[in-house]
Amino acid sequence: MAKTLVIVESPAKAKTIKKYLGNGYEVFASKGHVKDLPKKQNAVDVQNDFAETYEVIEGKEKVLEELKSAAKKADEVLLATDPDREGEAIAFHISEEIKNPKLKVARVEFHEITKKGVDHGVHNPRKLDENLYDAQRARRVLDRIVGYDVSALVWSKLAFGLSAGRVQSVALRLIVDREREIEAFVPEEYWNIAVGLAAASPPQRAPFVAKLASADGKKLEVTNGETAAKVRADLETARYRVAKVVRREQKRNPPAPYTTSKLQQDATNYLHFGAKRTMQIAQALYEGIDLKRDGGPVGLITYMRTDSTRVSDDAIAEVRGVVAKRYGKEFVPERPNIFKSKKNAQDAHEAIRPTSVEIHPDSIKKYLKDEQYKLYKLIWNRFVASQMNPAVYDRTTVEIDATPTVAAPGYRSYLARASGRILKFPGWLQVTEGQQEFAGEEESAGAAADGGAAAPAPAEASAAEAERAAPGASAEEDSEALLPDMKEGEELAVSPPGVVTDQKFTQPPPRYNEGSLVRELEKRGIGRPSTYAEIISKVQQRAYVEKREGGAFQPTLLGKFVVDGLVRSNLDIMDPNFTAQMEEELDAVGAGNLKREQLLKSFYKKFREQLDKSKKLAPWKPEAEKTDIVCDECGSMMLKKWGKNGWFLSCERYPKCKATRDLSDTRGSAAVRETDISCDKCGKPMIIKTGRFGDFLSCTGYPACKNTRPVPLGVACPNCGGDLIEIRPRKKGGRTFYGCSNWNAEQKCDFKLWQKPVPVPCPQCGAKFVTRTAGKKAMLVCATKDCGFKQEIVEGEGEEGAAAPDAASIVAGAAPTPAARPEPAGAAPASAERPQAAPPGPGAADRGATKGEAEKPARAVRARRTAS
């Protein structure tokens, strides 16, 4: 019997596909790339049309031998690697290795790992696409050329061992530019003014609040307290009359099904998954999950690297039937909703959707990991919502004239406005389960939903961004309730809370997190669906940015120096527009409209000219500065220097005297803070210092005593009474968690938490501490199992008599409170590989880390913790 060999990338995918193909087919996995450019300078021959020298990846020899052996026993080979450029390159390399004149080799694509998807792929083979392969080769060569040459430039101008990438450097520039905007931002004062109103005569109706919009027919912007006081005085005794009442129906259209970038954005904002983690989970859902039915794994979603919102007719027919059955016929639009893909979309694959809407997330929850369930539910909800009717609101807007009665008013007349709406028909919101904002919703106004399209506010804009853009915009906000019935000309009177003047200050733009950075990259045309996660991952792996609480990226001083130096070098690769244009040219190579060699030659000639000029520029790092600090070892004076790990002091007699001393962290703060904690080695007081990894305790007896410890968080461990401390994984991009300082004691304690413990008692169950969650809305949550206490942190909310302290006091850290012993909260973080407990890292010199204080903290706190 003829045998067909099917080669895929993943063993999990191979297992799922084998179930559908049955006898006559053998399925093997390449386990990713089998060949790559070797890590040496001459891997690309620039003079010979950029010809590459590929080598078998170390460790893949055995895999290749298995594939060759299986190919010798087959009559036909189907290369079924992932349906994108990377998959095409893997298919080409495998084809080269198993080459045999008698062997029939074809390329197939599986856009979903289902019986239908696999059968369609097998019965529609094609030739290997040389254009797609050339596009991948061109990207790989560009990245190699830029990576090697620009990294060498950074080494020579800043510090040895640093690196720079083609697209990652542009992403880093976006982060640094945003930080510079924040640093340069000057808050502007403004005042929101509102007045409580009610009917002046019977019948009595519910009071409401109207917000001041204009004065004397012009938009009113109150920018100081004096003006606010005058306006308040005018409004407190003014006569109020309803000038206009507008009632209309408002529709909110559903968003399109997920593309890669939109999935990564919502996964970041609502599930707190990074881009890389999101794609790993999605890959598993695509390759197949064993649902204990039908003989093996089932692919749950379509291919997860896509920029298209296109959906197959069969999938639309299925989801419309499910919507009618599950929610009712009134939720099904007369015609399917159609969404336009972006202008530069490759449109090679469908949108990300469930392979079968009949597989509801809750029906298979027990077979999924928690993170798989959450992501699958997000995808399922979004796809079902995309083919439902719009949500419909009854919206009422009332304009109110206010005429001052005081002798000398600030203005002759004022206009206040109140808007309210109430949900009349939930439509697609019926399936979103409380989610309020949706990545890309503002792009869905053109959906072909019956009844026209509403223009929803951009769902991804933060409150700070909206407030900064238009301080007076709050006058237009809707309250989620209908206003009382009013008639034009009706008299109104001031009612509680009366006239309210609220001082505000404009806010700087928010720092990028993973979701908003992906959105910005997509908006600028930088990267493609298959590269977003890699770009974000690379930015985090280097010491160029730090992840703050809540996931925001803040550039380090090192990151700023790298960006500033590369920008001063006038390299095109640092221009976001140039990088976006390069992506379009790579797409043109993939489409066969541009030759690979033509693209590379055009780029390289100008790149070399720019690079040669930049080598003649001065070094990028700051000059050494003299100080009045005396060297502890030889008595000479110390110099303030900068190395790739931050600021440090170095003896002016270097290299004869190699004494160095930590000066500050990478952000430049040289302050130390006293504590009442005594050194457990010598008994002297300890101080809080800041290193490249954050705060740590250091003995004041240094250098005689080189003891360091993590900074306690002021919360006692509920298991053993030790101090809870922050634990940062050594692996770049790993998730921070919180554990007991006795993890390495004789009586080891393995208590762990994902959320930061806060020394505030729980008002509901009496536990002596709660935890602070990150995200769009910071929350205080009780760490005790089954307690259920949860409260949003409100800026400025007082502690006295309140259930929780204000946000500022939480950030600053409240006084330690003796901890009770609640139930252990949180499971051992699976991703916490080789963590470091609040890892200190005094700035190390260019020539290497200093002895003593620089090395001891790392040895003390970076030891491996075994997760329970």
Residues identified as active-site: 303
At CB < 8 A and 24+ separation, what contacts does 567-572 make? 567/173, 568/614, 568/617, 568/620, 569/153, 569/610, 569/611, 569/613, 569/614, 569/617, 570/610, 570/613, 570/614, 571/150, 571/607, 571/610, 571/611, 571/614, 572/606, 572/607, 572/610
Please give the Cα distance from 141 to 857 (Å, whole number).
Answer: 41
Cβ(53)–Cβ(38) below 8 Å: yes
Assigned token pair, 27 = 């399925």
Cβ(33)–Cβ(104) below 8 Å: no
Assigned token pair, 210 = 């109207």
Give just the sign of the alpha carbon dihedral 168, 579, 38, 157.
negative
Name the helix (H) or strand (E) containing 150. helix 130-157
Comparing CA positions, the residue from 379, 357, 387 lying closest to residue 303 is 379
Residues contacting 183, CB < 8 A, separation 6+: none
Report helix angle 370-386 to 275-287, nearest 10: 80
Phi and psi torsions of 202, nearest 5°: -60, 155
Please give the Cα distance from 332 to 384 (Å, whole number).
Answer: 10
Assigned token pair, 699 = 């003995």
Name residue 195's beta-bridge partners.
210, 499
Cβ(428)–Cβ(254) below 8 Å: yes
Phi and psi torsions of 241, nearest 5°: -140, 135
Give the side-chain half-sphere CA count within 13 A for 597: 8
Cis peptide before 857 (omega within 30 of 0): no
Please give the Cα distance from 300 to 378 (Å, whole number).
Answer: 13
Comparing CA positions, the residue from 383, 376, 349 lying closest to residue 291 is 376
Comparing CA positions, the residue from 600, 482, 579 lying closest to residue 521 is 579
The alpha helices in 343-436, defined as continuous H runs, are 370-386
3-state secondary structure of 463: helix
Comparing CA positions, the residue from 832, 835, 830 lying closest to residue 862 is 835
Assigned token pair, 120 = 């369609």
Please give the Cα distance from 363 to 293 (Å, whole number).
Answer: 12
DSSP summary character for residue 270: I
CA dihedral 621, 624, 630, 634 (to 10 degrees): 90
